[in-house]
Chain A
Amino acid sequence: MPDSACAMQTREELEPRVLTGSHFMLGDHACAEGALAAGLDFFAGYPITPSTEVAEHLASRLPASGGRFVQMEDELASMAAIIGASAAGARSLTATSGPGFSLMMENIGLAAMLETPCVVANVQRASPSTGIPTMVGQSDILQARWGSHGDYGIIAYCPASPQECFDLTVKAFNAADKYRVPVFVMMDEIVGHMMERVVIPQPKDIPFIGRKKPKTRPGEGQFLSYRPDDDLVPPMAHAGEGYKVHMTGLTHDERGYPAMFPETHDILVNRLVDKIRLNAADIEMHEEFDCDDADTIVVSFGCTARSASAAVRQARAEGLKVGMIRLITVWPFPEGRIRELVAQGDVKRFIVPEINLGQLRREVERLTSLPVLRLNHAGGQMPTPNAILELIRS
């Protein structure tokens, strides 16, 4: 090819937004590629181990694909920036780890209250506080659900492989738009820093669910920017589209204007919770095997689920009646399925291995009076298949 023709190629042609094909890829990079494939418009973040590779990769890739990358002064500002971008119509993302996630909490509540769709990738490390930045943890799981003040609903995915880092980041954007809610991709250091094959589909095969738009045109009739449809989600008018849009963290009425009355507050907050709770069947995802006749069920997620799967398969090979539930969404939690298994009567106990001191075990205990065995480590390493196997054999 002559040089001139080469120069005519745009960067987009040289480096397409969707890298269709098979790759051997870091989990953090797969998350970044998932965001690009999902149509990411805007990233704002502050680098922090072990999530830095997400930002680093997007700093190189996103501007070349027509998006904006901003390195912010801190995580409070990062979260605020992605909310603002979202209000203007952008698909927006930030990536962080424990300490940064804590700093984002106030504005995560704001995103929930304003119902601005956005995605936060949290690559969990050994915590609390600074902990061990380069080593694994799974101890932000309850913080993801309850970390900001007040009642609200969120969605959180927990990938167990680089492929899932890609797939679930795409899902996260779609769920965020569909339910107008902040969505978390709760990775962990091992999954984020692991390299494995990642297959990226053709652009046309990347699912896209956009935001519901107002049914009326700007200036036509009366549009109430916070009046929900039957699914409890209001259509979203973006700043600059011509609609009257008012957003506030104060309790607001269907116009979006402050209305600080107990009745208004109760209706609004109930809706923020119910739009996730009542749509849980549509959102919740898990994978299970060998549960039908099991007397022991292992419930696990993220990197720990890899060891748990190996242990369950080995235990089955030894003739033990054990099954496995791997969470794909940690929130909503598969409450219905756990209750169903308990009601069937075969299950005698649950085992919950996790890299924290019992956060998810508490969730299982809430749903059953059966024994829930624990296998915990505060962080820095993941359990081996043998450690879980020994507990299954006990």
Chain B
Amino acid sequence: MNKVDKAMTASDNNGARKSWEIRIGGVGGQGIVLSSKLLGIAASLYDGKEAVVTQSYGPEARGGAARSDVVISEDAVDYPFVIQADVLAALFPEAYTKFRPMLKEGGTLIVDSALVKVSEEDEASAIMVPATKIADEVGNRLTRNVVILGCLVGATGVVSREAMVQAIRKQMKEKIVEVNIKALDAGIEFARNSEAS
């Protein structure tokens, strides 16, 4: 069974509705809040869905534990936090250890392979992205978070590529839009290739 099908078993803890619960965890400075905001913009402004983003971070501007939850649904979202994640993107070892138990059976696990080492059980199913390497190839290391987002979009289809592109255009300064779209596409491609393998 490929990862896309598994991830499509969406949750319904907001009543009997179809919804997606996505948690992105890492440390401050990795662009976690921006990533979740881009997903929220894509879903709610360009894909005709409802989306809520919440976040939690320590008092530090950089380096403290940070996480963001995105709940996307066909209908209004009530409870705004992830209870059982359909998708977990872990960009730092602590985020993987701490949030792994929240991932649903068959949920999508995405990690930054340079930073996070997954357990043996997860090795077969996790999408392990060399996000820094891909971002460097794209031409800007700061697009790491968008590479991860690309993987998330490519592996789950929770929002469309087109909506993500529009979200990037809306949210980012013009001079970094193109490099971020490249990073998005590189992430999408990486996810597709890892499904095929």
A residues whose Cβ falls under 8 Å from a Cβ of B: 22-24, 134, 190, 193-197, 303, 306-307, 309-310, 313-314, 317, 382, 384-386
Contacts and interface: CB of A to CB of B under 8 A. Distances in A.
A197 B50 contact: yes
Contact of B41 (A24, A310, A313): A24
B44 A24 contact: yes
Contacts of B54: 190, 193-195
Contact of B37 (A195, A307, A309): A195
A317 to B, nearest CB: 6
A196 B80 CA distance: 10
A309 B78 contact: yes
Nearest to A191: B80
Interface of B: 13-16, 36-37, 40-41, 44-45, 50-56, 59, 77-81, 83
B15 A196 contact: no
B16 A196 contact: no
Contacts of B13: 310, 385-386
* Interface-central residue, A23, A190, A194, by most chain B CB under 10 Å: A194
B173 to A, nearest CB: 15
A194 B53 contact: yes
* Interface-central residue, B36, B44, B77, B79, by most chain A CB under 10 Å: B79
28 contacts: A23-B45, A24-B37, A24-B41, A24-B44, A24-B45, A24-B51, A24-B53, A190-B80, A194-B52, A194-B80, A195-B36, A195-B37, A195-B40, A196-B40, A197-B44, A197-B50, A197-B51, A306-B78, A306-B79, A306-B80, A310-B15, A310-B78, A314-B15, A314-B16, A317-B16, A385-B14, A385-B79, A386-B13
B80 A385 contact: no
A309 B41 CA distance: 24
Instruction: Give the top 4 A-B pairs by smallest Cβ distance, nearest first.
Output: A310-B78, A195-B53, A24-B41, A197-B44
Contacts of A190: 54, 80
